[in-house]
Structure 1
């Protein structure tokens, strides 16, 4: 096991009827900016509940944060927060809204061009504190310090993180996910699954706790993900999936073990250029990525085959084949396609995707930092 430092200060309030506790989590004298996405939180009554919980606070609202949040929208929220002298942010929504809120939190006090936070890795010296009310379990952003932001004008989708960008608290009420459409439920399952894979399916590090924890998360997603599509208001299913998505990317299973993230980097370019949902891009890339890199991932692929998919018969190569195919079938069973053709993206799109990777410096990816542009090209071709 590698050396590691694990730190996660986010306070989790999990379960039903936790929204009224909001007032105790926010400084009494703070001017609060509520951030959210589309109109669903108003239609479902969540926004009204939040406002009721914040009775007595000075509250400003900013809606319209997109899936794959854009710099162009978020900078409007930054300007509003500065004008209104906001001292606390409250994100109400899924991972995209939370990611966007992290950028807003860092950008409000930032002295220079806020885009430099992403494009130049400019130093973040302070951030406005924030909390979250999760309505769409998927990204784990409610309990980590990272975010991914898109700039439409330049087709850039870039990640950043900072210790100041952990939420102060996150309210996780599984009933808030009852009204999600099937596509978002499926996307959430795929997203969490690939988050686990990026931290687990690398090479052995004799990290038994992390491996077993990761395998348990994967097994829960495989068992409960398809059921949730059939029973969207089953509390037990929703609760387990919400907590899995949070635990998949709160730093715990990735501590002390090698991390990959190449699938995410290739997926980001698909989203930036072609507008795929984040989870759709991951479902397309992961099976092809595992096939192309089966040699360097051999030992963990065999472990994954045995412990997650219960594949113990046949020779090694056959079991790896089956494990990759089971992964693909799982995504497809959730109605998330695993080939670019399903999204009307042909092989003629690959050169532009490769150009994007090169422009963003994504030329030495993976747990060994040796996965080259040519490898990425093979993945895109195999995923076509």
Structure 2
């Protein structure tokens, strides 16, 4: 097991009716900027609950944060936060709203070019406004981590930054807020969470039993409850387990003591920025083909996944691995995320642009061994045609 340092100070209020705890977390007379997306929170009652809890505060609003939040949109919110001298950002939504709000929190305390926050990976962030979250879509784990992904639409760049200064001070997770979500968003969230776990699991064995067993239990939760969530959208226990699984998938716990990969995300981000695919769609395209391409390097963990999670124990090692990959592809397809480029209207002509963007972004040696080059990515995507 590898050495690690673990730190996560985010307070979580989980369960029914927990939006009311905003009164405990935000002092009266605070100046609060509420950020959200397309306005669904005004249709499902979440907005009303938030406003009621903040009735003793001065509230400002910024709406319209996109899926894969756009830099061009977020800088408008930064200027609003500065103009109104807000004390706290309250993100009400899913991972995109929270990611965008992390950028807003950092930008509101930054006097340079806001894009510096992205290009430095967050290293230029020395101060940020406090951030709280009301999660309405379980997927990214952003409600309990230091990471953010922002897209600059004008240049088709989707890049990340991280800073402990933008970790949410608190997050509220009420599974009932997910009942009204479209099936596509719930399905995408399940796939996203699944791949987050795999980026920290599907590398090579280091005898990290705690992280491995924890990851395997979370994978089983998603495999079991993901399809049920689509069949029974108002099943509280199913939604509760999926929501907490998504948070635990990327709050820093699973990475303790293990190597991590993140090459699927690096490639997927380029596909999203270039071709406007859903984040989960790109992950479903890339991961199975990457596993096949790197089968020998990942063999130990692929077999462990096959045996422990999918209960595949018969056949040769290569047969077990291929069946595990096929069953993973079947799960992604069941959740509405086919695993080929052609399923989304893309062919081999799309691949050179991905290689070019990875090169531009310095993604020249990715993966747990740092041995996946842009040329390797070309071959991986050819396997996904």
Q: Which TM-score band applies after superposition, normalised by the shorter structure?
A: over 0.9
Q: CA-atom RMSD, angstroms?
A: 0.7
1:241-260 equivalent positions in 2, closer than 5 A: 241-260=242-261
Q: Per the alignment, in what secondary structure is the counterpart of residue 132 of structure 2?
A: strand
2:66 equivalent in structure 1: 66
Deviation at 1:29, TM superposition (A): 3.7
Query: Is 2:10–2:169's contact at 8 Å kept on the other side of the alignment?
Result: yes
| Partners of 2:120 and 2:204 in 1: CA distance | 31
Deviation at 1:354, TM superposition (A): 0.5
| Partners of 1:196 and 1:88 in 2: CA distance | 31
1:83 equivalent in structure 2: 83
Query: Does the alignment pair 1:33 with 2:33?
Result: yes
Query: Does the alignment pair 1:368 with 2:380?
Result: no
Q: Per the alignment, in what secondary structure is the counterpart of residue 136 of structure 2?
A: strand
Deviation at 1:72, TM superposition (A): 0.3
1:1-384 equivalent positions in 2, closer than 5 A: 1-121=1-121, 122-384=123-385
**How many residues in Structure 1 have an aligned counterpart in Structure 2?**
384
| Partners of 1:207 and 1:235 in 2: CA distance | 33
| Partners of 2:42 and 2:28 in 1: CA distance | 25
Query: Is 2:34–2:62's contact at 8 Å kept on the other side of the alignment?
Result: yes
Q: Per the alignment, in what secondary structure is the counterpart of residue 254 of structure 1?
A: coil
Q: Which segments of structure 1 move beyond 4 Å, counting only runs of 4 or more?
A: none
| Partners of 2:161 and 2:197 in 1: CA distance | 19
| Partners of 1:89 and 1:175 in 2: CA distance | 23
Deviation at 1:307, TM superposition (A): 0.5
Deviation at 1:32, TM superposition (A): 0.1
| Partners of 1:258 and 1:30 in 2: CA distance | 42
Any idea what the Cα deviations from partners look like across 1:105-141, whole Å, max 9, x if unmatched? 0111112101011123342100000100000000000
| Partners of 2:27 and 2:342 in 1: CA distance | 51
| Partners of 2:244 and 2:273 in 1: CA distance | 28
| Partners of 2:317 and 2:376 in 1: CA distance | 23
| Partners of 2:272 and 2:299 in 1: CA distance | 29
Q: Per the alignment, in what secondary structure is the counterpart of residue 153 of structure 1?
A: coil
| Partners of 2:296 and 2:221 in 1: CA distance | 27
Give the TM-score taking structure 1 as reference length.
0.99
| Partners of 1:265 and 1:217 in 2: CA distance | 23
| Partners of 1:270 and 1:57 in 2: CA distance | 41
| Partners of 1:161 and 1:196 in 2: CA distance | 19
Q: Per the alignment, in what secondary structure is the counterpart of residue 154 of structure 2?
A: helix
| Partners of 1:63 and 1:187 in 2: CA distance | 22
> Structure 1 stretches of 5 or more lacking a match?
none
| Partners of 1:153 and 1:199 in 2: CA distance | 32
